[in-house]
Structure formats: C-alpha cells, structure tokens
Structure 1
C-alpha cells in the first residue's frame, strides 16, 4: 500500500477470470473492471471468497495474463463449511463476520477510506453494523453498497421464496445492510427507483456511479441475407424471462432463428431444470437451439454470428451482457426495467419492449422478424459503440469515486459532551442466587470498566447460606449496594433492582458473567448519539466454569438485534447483558413468572412497540457455560412449555386488564 493514496476495498464472492461456483457472472466482471479503473487514483484491496483461491493459484502458476486486477492486493475470506456455523444463525451471517475479521487483519492500524460491498446475500452486514456501532477502526471509513440485485428480488422473480430460517435471515441482513450503509451506489436507469418501490423509504442515501468497462469494440462483419438471427445470453432462469421469450418467438410464423446461450438453473416449476422445461416446450423446433455457456472472452465471436441481442428479463440491474452486446455490434431488444431503460435507446441502440411478458415481446419482435433489414441497419453501427462509451467512461467514473472519497464521514461512536457536564450514570444490576463461586469475578469486571460513572446494585434473591457471605465482603471492597428480596427468580430480581436504580441507563448482568472493560463505554456512546436506539448489546464469548474459552465452532453467541421480525421465532435480539434506557422500564418489565427466556420476551415486547436495539459485532462480554445453568437445567429441558408460557405472558403484558371507564 502506498502512503498518502486513498485505500479502497472491494468485497466479492465472484471475480473474473475465475469461474467459481457462480460461473463468473456480472458481479465478478464488475469487481475486476472497477479494480482496474480505480488503480490510477487509489490503492485497491480485494476481499475475495477463498473458494476461488485454487483457480487463482493455478492461473498464477501458469502466468495467465487474465490475472489483471490493476495491481490490487487480494485478501482471501474463508467460506464457511456447514459444520462451522456454531452460534451463528445463517451461513451468510458467519461469512459476513469473516469478511469483517479479514478486513480488520488487513488494516490493523487504520481503516480504509472506502469499502464497497455487493448487496447480493448481505456480505457487508457485519462491517456495516460494526461501523454503526462505533468500531474505532471504521470510524472514518465510508461503507458503500453497490446495487446488483438482491437475493430477495431474485427469489421473488424466480417464483420461490423458501420458508427455511437460514435464507429468510439472509434476506433480513440484506435489507439491514441496504438501510444502514453510508451510501448506496447504482448504475442509473430505473435501478434505484425499483429498489425504492420494493424496499420503501428506509434505504440509505444513494448516488449514481456507473459500471466501468474497458473492453474494445469488435466488428461483427457483414450480416448475410436471410432470416433474422436472434441471440439470448444469460442463465436459463425464470427471472431472466427466457420462458416469455421462447413463447413469444414460437408464436411468430415464418423463418427465423433463436440461440439461447447460457447455463441451466433449477428455476422451472417445482424446481425443475429450466432448460428441460424449455426444450419440452419447443418440441424439437429446429429454429431454436440451446448453447452451453462460454467464457466472457468468447462472447464476441458468438455474438458476431447473430443480428440481434434479446434480453427479455423481468428485471435486470445493470447487465454487462447488454453493454458487451452493443460493443460487439448487436442492437438490443429489452423491456424498460432497471438499467435497460437507459441502455436501450429506441431506434438508435435497439428497440424497447413496452412491457415484460410474452405478448409485448412478440409484438416487438414480429416486425423485425418480418423485416430483418431493420435490425441489420443498426447492427455494427457507431451509435452502439458511442452509447457504451458514454455509459462506461472511465474518467467520469473515477471522478465519481473521488467525490465519494472526499465526502465528509460521520465519525460514529464518539460523544462530544459540553465541558463540565457529567457522563450519564449507568446502573449495573446483578441478580444473585447461589453464585458465590463466580460473583467476585463478575463484580470485578463491573468495576474494571473504562467508563467510570457507574453504580452497582447486587440483588440477593433469597440466597442466605454460609457461602453467600461473599456479598458482604464485596460490599466492603467496592462502593456497591446490596439489596435483598425473598427468592422470586431472575426476572423479578432484575425488575426489583432496576426499580431501585438511579441511572439513565441500566445494565442487567448475571452473577456468573463477565464484562470486557470497554463494554459500557461503547454502549453508552451509541445510546448518547442515536436516540432511536433503545438498547445496546454485543456478541459474547463462551467460557467454561474456569473461565477458559470454548473451542470452535461454538465460541459464542452472535445476535442481530430485535429489529428483525425473526425475533418472534428465535431470540436473534440478544442476551440480557445489554445497556438499556432506564425509561423503558416505566412501560415494560421482564415477565416475572418466566423461569427462562425472560430476555427474549422483553425484546419481543420492545420489537412490537417499534423500540429497537443495536448489537456490536465484537465479543465484549463473556458468558459462563455451567453444567447447572438455568438454560441447561430448565430452558433446554422444558423449551416447549417455556415458549408457551412466554407467549401467554407477552399477551398478558400487552393487554390493559383494568377498566378505563369505571
């Protein structure tokens, strides 16, 4: 890395020239092109999924000239195996965590100036959450998310949204990333408009930054007389509109040909092979032929054998194949969706289909089939090359990135308090019941906080044995308050302690858990600067009864926060170890009759009230895993019963049972 030059990071699970599990699609092309385009103005680092590393190493050993990414540094992100999920809720949540881990390792002293993620699958989720949570490394880093097409939109247009938890959570982290990023990048056309119509008004601010393309135009050569030769390039996929296209041309009489060039997908009815569905539909019609996918550098040759590129997609973002088709001299036929609204200039670079679907496609294609000379009049024309040049101008794109790099960054997680104004008081409430072996370490961790303005309340929940004299000893060592009540359980002890607290914020802390020194300071900084955040928690680290960290993969708990509707199904919100606004307990409480899941119940009540929290994706406290813990002896054994009790108590808490008119 060069001193003084901006540092830009592009994260990707695809990268040309590597084929990889996704077949080297448009995202891989975009990242490779962008890395080369930015080389004159920035040092570029690529965070790349390591499933591409074997192919990279083989090409590097062979001296393959296609390994040209503008001198960018590559950092490999380990792709999780199924048995590595541990305490993560979904594959992509763990992958996003590894992206953040590799980013931190690659920039140990100062974060990069700009990190750009793809929206697909939400791989930027943990990095975005870390920046929002005031991660010091990312305090002055701009986090951008490029709109390529989310997996949620893909699933809808492919006609199948699974109810399985993992993909549903992936859709949730995609949405969260689109909302919490500093800026969204889009290529133009109706891309941003589509996202706003689909996702609503909670998206992050957006700017238009084109997609670079450094390819040279090719001459398709003279077109022979004869029937119109149409070409489709792309995956054989429902959302790409291939069924509509085949049905449209099959209804057109006369002589013509259509080549479908692309890989098969399982997006036919009931997950069937789309190619087989199409082949059955054409019933041996010799005018339609199926061609296997080819590498990007082979496309110009395939395109030269045709007159027209048809892209019938139900929605496309900013398809490189359209730009490459025009560079190869082919006019386009496409509906007004996404970036195609700007790529297709009617009568100049092709013909705009008035709508998606078979009927509109047939109405647009039939006149061209009947009069092929109209298509060939545009084929190979300068207008096609000029339009691509205008849309992909490298100097203009670099200028947009320079403006991004010059944008003032909101420095998150720092509180500017007027001189003389004290920090707000934080009340740490520690319920205690027969935890004499661990409570001293817990209290030590509370008083070891870098945030100094705290009060500690130890709530003795009816534990009066000889060993419980440790509470009196702690009261002589620390300025804490010991309060007692008859044994009524953890939730009631928390509620009692919070009722006696004086702080602006409260932190329930179980008597066997341990805080890292920065936990309170990091949480308070967020709460003091984000009024719409109502509690702050973090990831934790599991330790055994002796304080030793548990081995991989179950190293800890990685919640998301109660902003996700999935909190109604699983506790993705966080543990009870959180800093909460004290005023919440003027309206809510931990359901006192629950013997487990009381944290989850409270977070669900807050979710339903629209009061959301933030989770710091760092391990800022330690959860002690004991053989006799309440979760193991009660929660795991009686989970079905406890869930039913939680449902009832949430309903009871939400209801006003006393008359409002008597």
Structure 2
C-alpha cells in the first residue's frame, strides 16, 4: 500500500476550542513525512502542533527542522528520558483546552481530532475520550481493525481491575484533567495506562467511541514487544491503589499481559511471573498462559 496524504490547509477558527497536538519523537525518521502530513490534514480548524524529540539517534531532528519549512509546528529536544517526560516537556508550551498525543510512526485519519473534540464539547464530565485503531504493518498495509458496538464508558474499578488502557494515540484529554492529576509521572516511562487510570481516579469519566481515528503501525520497535519495560510501567502505575478492592485483579491482568510475550521468549522469566500470582487469583487467561508455557518450546 502506498502511503500518500495531501495536507488540507484550512483557516483557523478561534471559535472552536484549541487542541494542542503534542507528539513525542524517538528515531522515527522513516515515518515522519507521512505522520506529519496526516497531522496537518486534520479537518478540525483550531490546532497547535508541538513535537518533542526524546534524544533520537537517527536523522529525526534534522528532518523535523527541514519539515518546519513546510509545516507550522514547534520543535523541542531533550536528552532521552522516555515518552512521559517528553509529553511533560511539550505540555509546558501547550495552550489548548484539549490535548492529543499521537505517535509519529502512526497515521491520523482526517476526522480524528474533530470527532473527539466534538464529543468533549458535548460531554463536560469526560476527562478522556478514546476511539479505535486500524492496525497496519511496518509498510503501511492494513491488517485488522478494532471493533466496538457502541460508546464504552469505563469506570475506575474497571480500568484498574482489568488493566484497561485507552491508548495515547487515540485519546483526547481535557487539559483541566491533565492539570488535576499533575501531568505524567516521568518515572513511569509508558504514558497511556498511567494517564487513563489517573484521570479516572479523580472522578472524570473515560469514554471510548466506536469509530476508528488512527492507523497504528506495528513494527519490531513497538513498546508492546518490550514487555518487561511495559510490565514495570504497569506495576508502577497501579502501586498507589494497593488498598483498592480491584487491585489484586488488576495485578493478575498485568502479569497475564506480560506472560503473553514471556511464555514464548523467556520461559525462566515467565515462570517467575506465574509464581507471583497466588493460585486463588488465577483466571482463565492465567491458565491459558500456563498451558502455553508448558507446551511451547522456546527457540534457541
């Protein structure tokens, strides 16, 4: 599939709430052209774009500087500290009422910002609105799409107990909600679960729309492949809620998520994870992981 997006330059409409699009960048040179084109092809008329490079070692920063001749965006750089710190950096300069945090290896669909901003306009009780993803491979070929029958309204108990994540590339946050939770914890290097949970913990509603807004690129550098980093971030995220009744269920869900990758790539680590779950907290997913661990032969 050939990726080609023509930006549609629209006049700004200051009567609409300003949306700050803050995009962290780390070694994304291969995808910057198409990602930036999709951001500037949005049909929402009032956005500011802020890009924060998180210590890229490839040609990302020179490319971004060159692209500033084509697109109107702010560019900042920091030493590599992780995506949470990069987003905090960008938030220092953000003036928007709403905040969008796309990845620069993905492609935003043209109505992405508008659909979610309209929803926040109509639902002041919502602090974070998410939507769905179309998955694509590293070359931009669509592989599958998420489905949802209707608007999903997530409670704090559900988010914690099932370790539910409203992905950062499909989330639009209310700036007031981000300020209420004191932005991102930079010690937690993965951004989306911590923000989903923190916003819900403060009484804001979290909704997910049954519409696709982003084409998500799967490639070897995706964080989901670095499951140990993700596991550490998830554990840090739920740590403040140890006394909550849903904590143990959430802990099991997080371990099950790590086991999905560990059982095929690091059996020793998988056994360590499995033994950390009390037997009374095993669920169907845990037993499936256990069965796969017993049957799967790890390649050398």
Give TM-score scaled by structure 2 length: 0.69
Q: Residues 466 and 650 from structure 1, CA distance in 2 versus in 1: closer, same or farther, beyond 3 angstroms?
A: farther
- Contact persistence 1:605–1:650 (CA under 8 A): no
Q: How much does 1:641 deviate? A: 3.7
Q: Show CA shifts across 1:534-593 (max 9, x none).
A: 222201111111111114xxx337694533622103343410121111122222222211
Structure 1 residues 56-75: aligned runs within 5 Å: none
Tell me what 1:500 maps to: 93
Gaps of 5+ in 2: 1-12, 243-300
Q: Residues 521 and 638 from structure 1, CA distance in 2 versus in 1: closer, same or farther, beyond 3 angstroms?
A: closer
Tell me what 1:342 maps to: none
Tell me what 2:120 maps to: 527
Q: Show CA shifts across 1:286-343 (max 9, x none).
A: xxxxxxxxxxxxxxxxxxxxxxxxxxxxxxxxxxxxxxxxxxxxxxxxxxxxxxxxxx
1:427 aligned onto 2:20: yes
Tell me what 2:50 maps to: 457
Tell me what 1:488 maps to: 81
- Contact persistence 2:51–2:74 (CA under 8 A): yes
Q: How much does 1:600 deviate? A: 1.0
Structure 1 residues 77-226: aligned runs within 5 Å: none
Q: Show CA shifts across 1:483-531 (max 9, x none).
A: 1112110011011112211111110111111111111111111111221
Q: Residues 641 and 431 from structure 1, CA distance in 2 versus in 1: closer, same or farther, beyond 3 angstroms?
A: closer
Q: Residues 452 and 421 from structure 1, CA distance in 2 versus in 1: closer, same or farther, beyond 3 angstroms?
A: closer
Q: 1:545 aligned to 122, 135, 138, which one?
A: 138
Q: How much does 1:595 deviate? A: 2.8
Length, aligned pairs only: 226
Q: Secondary structure at the match of 1:476?
A: coil
Tell me what 2:178 maps to: 585
Tell me what 1:576 maps to: 168
Counterpart-to-counterpart distance in 2, 1:604 and 1:516:
26
Q: Secondary structure at the match of 1:502?
A: coil
Q: Residues 549 and 421 from structure 1, CA distance in 2 versus in 1: closer, same or farther, beyond 3 angstroms?
A: closer
Counterpart-to-counterpart distance in 2, 1:646 and 1:557:
27
Counterpart-to-counterpart distance in 2, 1:541 and 1:650:
32
- Contact persistence 1:561–1:573 (CA under 8 A): no
Tell me what 1:644 maps to: 235
Counterpart-to-counterpart distance in 1, 2:241 and 2:62:
36
Counterpart-to-counterpart distance in 2, 1:516 and 1:496:
25
Q: Secondary structure at the match of 1:540?
A: strand
Counterpart-to-counterpart distance in 1, 2:32 and 2:163:
26
Counterpart-to-counterpart distance in 2, 1:571 and 1:557:
19
- Contact persistence 1:560–1:572 (CA under 8 A): no
- Contact persistence 1:560–1:574 (CA under 8 A): no
Q: Show CA shifts across 1:30-65 (max 9, x none).
A: xxxxxxxxxxxxxxxxxxxxxxxxxxxxxxxxxxxx
Q: Residues 489 and 649 from structure 1, CA distance in 2 versus in 1: closer, same or farther, beyond 3 angstroms?
A: farther
Tell me what 1:566 maps to: 158
- Contact persistence 1:540–1:556 (CA under 8 A): yes
Q: Secondary structure at the match of 1:443?
A: helix
- Contact persistence 1:561–1:574 (CA under 8 A): no
Counterpart-to-counterpart distance in 2, 1:508 and 1:581:
12
Gaps of 5+ in 1: 1-419, 652-662
Counterpart-to-counterpart distance in 2, 1:613 and 1:594:
21
Q: Secondary structure at the match of 1:457?
A: strand
Question: Which segments of structure 1 move beyond 6 Å, counting only runs of 4 or more?
Answer: none
Q: Residues 448 and 501 from structure 1, CA distance in 2 versus in 1: closer, same or farther, beyond 3 angstroms?
A: same
Give TM-score scaled by structure 1 length: 0.32
Counterpart-to-counterpart distance in 1, 2:172 and 2:231:
29
Q: Residues 476 and 564 from structure 1, CA distance in 2 versus in 1: closer, same or farther, beyond 3 angstroms?
A: same
Q: Secondary structure at the match of 2:35?
A: helix
- Contact persistence 2:26–2:56 (CA under 8 A): yes
Q: Residues 641 and 544 from structure 1, CA distance in 2 versus in 1: closer, same or farther, beyond 3 angstroms?
A: same
- Contact persistence 1:462–1:485 (CA under 8 A): yes
Q: Which has the higher contact order (CA 8 A, sep 6+)?
A: 2
Structure 1 residues 48-63: aligned runs within 5 Å: none
Counterpart-to-counterpart distance in 2, 1:426 and 1:505:
5
